[in-house]
Amino acid sequence: MSENSALLQITDLMVFYENALAIKNLSLKCSQGLISGAFGSNSAGKTTLMLAISGIIAYYQKQEKMKGGERITWHGEISFDGDQIINLEPSKRAKLGIILCPERRRIFAESSTLENLKIGGYQATKKQSKKTMHYVFNIFPELDRLKNRGGGFLSGGEQQMLAIGRALMAQPRLLLLDEPLLGLAPLVEKRLAKAVKEINEELGLTMLISEQYAKPIVPVVDYCYVLENGGIIFEGTKDDFKKNPDVMDAYFGGM
């Protein structure tokens, strides 16, 4: 395993929702060109982690502040390609190339597949847009066939493909996938896992994938973190992961 440099380095991250600690002293690293995985059950903090890295948590902080709700605060360090970004706005982080593919897809239901992809390419140049769209239709031929279908009429798997495609259109350097396999059938899970690996290999794109049920995605992940109650309880390569019986029990389950 070659020593890739860390594209994303999180050190001692803490996120508070009022007085509840959602993320506790979390340190994590995404190495350049590798796929990292963050696994954990429902309230382990996976989505909060994704929101913190992408900066979208600042949006929720503002929303809560305006309506006098919970006070959301965060502390610690997040460095991306050497720059400290913890206080950087989400839009600027997106410009740097940190792109989030949110939980439950959140594609634009009233827009067609093609429009969704075009929207994703908002900050890309025309040339980049064209090239990426071509690539997306290559990886996901289903989307080509569904070009003009309204987003709301796509099945879960197709929506996830579209969400990934839309994220790719934003020219990411770090792609964050928050529970991409949620609610999908086994066949579709395999398809997506395979596609994710292809994208990583062909584009050299660094990725961080969070999942609750690790089995379908572990084959493509290079380095794994296991989260529980906001902290990391285990980290290692996928072989280390498989060798640890407790972890296997909790996150692989039966099937």
Partner 1 sequence: MEKHDIFLKVSGVSKSFGGIQAVSDISFQMRKGEILGIIGPNGSGKTTLANLISGFLKKDSGEVLFDGKNISKWSAHKVAAAGLARTFQVMRPFHSLPAYKNLIPTLYSPRARQSPEGKLGDRDAVAIDLLEEVGFERDAYVPYKLAGSLPLGYLKRLELARCLAMYPNLIICDEVFSGLSMAEIVSMIPLIERLQMDGMTLIMIEHRLKELFQVADRILVLNFGRKIAEGVPGEVMVEPQVRKAYLGEEWEE
Partner 2 sequence: MGETIERKKRIDRGVKVRSDSIYAVSSIQELAFLAAPRLGLIFGLLLLPILVPGLYWQRVVCLFGIYALLAVALDFMASYTGLNCLGMAFFVGTGGYFSGMLNAAFNVPLMVSIPVATLLGALFCTLAFLPTLPLRGVYFAVISFMYPLMSERIIAATGAFGGTEGIAGLSILPNIWFSQYLIVVVLLFCIFALRRLVNEDIGLVFRGLKDNDQTIRASGMNITYYKAIVVFITALMGCFAGAYLSHLYGWVGLSLLAMDFSIFPLAAMIIGGPGTIAGPVIGAIILVPVSELMRVFSGLRILFYSIVIIFFILFWSEGLLNWARKKYEQFEFLVKV
**Which partner, partner 1, partner 2, none, binds residue 145 by CB below 5 to 8 Å per kind?**
none
* Residue among 62, 75, 130, 131 that touches partner 2 (CB under 8 A): 75
Q: Does 62 bind partner 2 (CB under 8 A)?
A: no
Q: Does 86 bind partner 2 (CB under 8 A)?
A: no
> Would you say 13 or 193 has its CB closer to partner 2?
13
Residues contacting partner 2: total by CB under 8 A: 12
* Residue among 43, 62, 71, 138 that touches partner 2 (CB under 8 A): 71
> Would you say 57 or 193 has its CB closer to partner 2?
57
As to burial, measured by CB atoms within 10 angstroms (0-12 exposed, 13-18 middle, 19+ buried), residue 62 is exposed
Contact between residue 174 and residue 7 where contact means Cβ atoms under 8 Å apart: yes
Contact between residue 13 and residue 25 where contact means Cβ atoms under 8 Å apart: yes
> Cβ neighbours of residue 169 under 8 Å, at least 6 residues apart?
117, 118, 120, 121, 124, 129, 132, 133, 136
Q: Does 147 bind partner 2 (CB under 8 A)?
A: no
DSSP string of 141-199, one letter each residue:
HHHHHTTTSBGGGS-HHHHHHHHHHHHHHT--SEEEEESTTTT--HHHHHHHHHHHHHH
Contacting residues toward partner 1, per CB under 8 A = 41-43, 150, 153-158, 182-188, 190-191, 193-194, 212, 219, 250, 253-255
In whole angstroms, the minimum distance from the beta carbon of 1 to partner 2 comes to 28
In whole angstroms, the minimum distance from the beta carbon of 153 to partner 1 comes to 6
Q: Please give the structure tokens belonging to residue 171.
A: 């020219």
Q: Please give the structure tokens belonging to residue 77.
A: 């360090």
Which residues are near partner 2 by CB under 8 A? Answer: 11-12, 14, 16, 18-19, 66-68, 71, 73, 75
